[in-house]
Amino acid sequence: MIGGMNLRRWWRGTDDLGRVTLYTRSSVLPLLFVGPFVLGSIPSVQNGDVSEPVALTLVATVFGMSLVAAYLLDRQVVGRVLTRPYLALLVGAALLTTVTVVALPIGNARGPALLTAAAFLVAPIGAFGARYYVPLSLALVLAIGLQSNVRDQPQRLVPLVVQMLLLLIAVACTAQVSVWLTTVVRRLADADRTRAELAVAEERLRFARDLHDIVGRDLSAIAVTSDLVAELARRGRPEAAERAEEVRTIAQESLRQVRAAVRGYRTIDLRTELEGSAALLRSAGVTSRVSADVGPLPDDVRTATAWVVREGVTNVVRHSTATRCRIEVREEGGTVHVRLENDGASGPLGHGSGLVGLAERLRPLGGELSFEQRNGSFVLRAELPADGAPAAAEPGVAGEVRA
């Protein structure tokens, strides 16, 4: 029961790559039971025509071959490459199985046993592509067919070879598709991470470029003017004081522009953030309902409220398996109330750096942040006073969005 709960919690907390990988790896496990099942269904083995020690040796040998094939397939599913030592292991297991099957007195069970071993041999080769496993399958079925009881009867040998060839190709193709599926999902996950990293890097470059455009020009002017002030001061010219005033003016203007740039960098619009949150949740497959009813607010209060929404939605997308999310922003009694509730919360309740930073952002404004997790739901609440002179250029936000 505890193991089932842990698996269910892991399933809810992992991403699509982890889920697809787990599903594909679990689909490889039946390979371990194919060999004993096939050999046990052969009439000569069922009727006792093959002695028990010989039958056990045959089953154990084919089972070992299936174990090697399943292990190598599992490595390919998790993104590992089959290097030469692993290919040598596969070839060695196939040769050992072939020699054992040929040497054992098993009568008409030899053909099915060799075909089963051949299927285990071509399965891990499936990820290398059809140009490898098709010729290999053809060579294997010809070898099996030529040592069969119908090798002197072309009318029976040809259909048998065709059937065996189609079987081996189907096995290799199935393995190829399984490895290909996990590879595609892994590449998509890597692309998402790379896209996020590029977005952060691009924003940093943009901010660095803006600072360079602002500060670089002014610092150059300050350097040139300072040289002129020093030269005038050495000559005792009265113009040095005027030039020094110019340096101070340039420095003050540069400081004002830098502060404006930083303020614009750190400020986010509440309306835009609500609309963007609804779109983000919709793209993540989360049914959302966003409602807002606030009047004009000071810039710092609007920005802090927008940051609460952004951080809350980020946590929903990254740290939960939510299917529903409710976002509510309202102003009541001179206080702005923000509430985010989502399902799909799992694992212990922690204090992430994002929530800690959010609480620190609200504290200078007299705001408070609280959150709780109960019955699989996570609720984030924020309250901050709507004091200050309303920003005339920033209208209120009202309405409801369903996604």
- Write out the two tokens for 192: 């998402």
pLDDT at 395: 46
pLDDT, residue 17, reads 79
Which residue is it, tokens 């966003």? 290
Judged against a pLDDT cut of 60, whether residue 2 lies above it is answered with no
Domains 191-266 and 270-402 alike in fold: no
Amino acid at 256: R
| Topology adopted by domain 270-402 | Heat Shock Protein 90 (3.30.565)
- Domain residue extents for the chain: 13-190, 191-266, 270-402
3 pLDDT tier (thresholds 50, 70, 90): low
The mean of the pLDDT values for the chain is: 80
Give the residue with greater pLDDT, 229 vs 267.
229
pLDDT in tens, 184-235: 888 887 887 787 677 767 767 777 777 776 677 677 777 877 888 888 888 8
pLDDT tens-digit series, residues 122-163: 999 988 988 999 999 898 888 887 776 656 666 677 887 888
Q: pTM of this prediction?
A: 0.55
Cβ of 169: how many Cβ atoms within 10 Å? 19
List pLDDT tens digits, range 64-83: 888 999 999 999 988 888 88
Mean pLDDT of 370-392: 77
Name the CATH topology of 191-266: 1.20.5
DSSP state of 347: S
As to burial, measured by CB atoms within 10 angstroms (0-12 exposed, 13-18 middle, 19+ buried), residue 361 is buried
Q: What pLDDT is stored for residue 382 in this prediction?
A: 93
Mean pLDDT of the region 96-109: 84
Q: What is the pLDDT of residue 217?
A: 66
